[in-house]
Structure 1
């Protein structure tokens, strides 16, 4: 018993000195300290005496982000790495500008659901259920919403003649991103393996690896 008490007296003070980001659940906020490493629970907190109003203001979605080739769409993000005040709050956002003929390819956010809001233009938006492979797809126009459940493959593409501007909100400050095209054709996965698991023609796989910069 005495040994257990001594261990407790030693461990508790040690834990109190560790800058866990989960403290955001028991305090007003936890602005991410990007000088420290990310953890499964988020970034450690920036010392509160160093936090200013500027930490809670972000202009990164005021203009279109860089174009992502070859999709003819641009992406600007507001997650904890770009907007540290979101750390621990369970929210995030993006802005996507999809030019005529542009596409947001099949991708998934493993850690969060997405609520899409169309500001300008017209998109076709959809996702594929995991249990039945049912496709849920809808044309979404200015002022309308579409929701993507967490972890499911989804997509968007411009069906109009003008640039579509979309803002999305997420149920995570770091929802994650995996793009199917990048996973298959921008990675080092050998072409012979891609051919075997996708049934695609080897010549087409090599063309796509050359397009996306993959190897193997």
Structure 2
């Protein structure tokens, strides 16, 4: 489950990322046909599927603050954990074109002990099985118990244990769209960004190594 929104905004320069980030939210949307390999629906820019201004502002602030540790600055990902797991809330944003792909993503069981579908809290603690807040940089790939996965390095005090906690990007059956039809919400991870099995390839293709993921509930 994904969507692509094409924004008619000027090409972003590194010098103007902050202003341009907000422009992603205020410019008019220009629908375009999605590539065949990326099933999509097009929403107007005023849609709730577009990153909310305060969340984007915080993501841009983190992007600048950690600039020296972010090797690739052409695309970013933002996880909006104020939204329920039933909603696409993982945004892959092209910083030059403004094109945004929005996907489903699961949160950690420790962040939602009662399995309500809503993230209740973040944690950086070992063994918490909770999602962590803050900026991450995508690192290397490996094959683990969830198949091909990508390690993440936490850049903030709120997620500094990401590597030791093995918080990664991976695919999971419990993050597939059919979970919404049968349960009305996704399952939960152990704190990882778990995406649907059908979306993993495009996440890796667009995120790659050295780019930022920003996670927050605003």
TM-score interval w.r.t. the shorter chain?
A: under 0.3
Higher strand share: 1
Report the structure number with the largest CA radius of gyration.
1
TM-score w.r.t. structure 1 length?
A: 0.24
TM-score w.r.t. structure 2 length?
A: 0.24
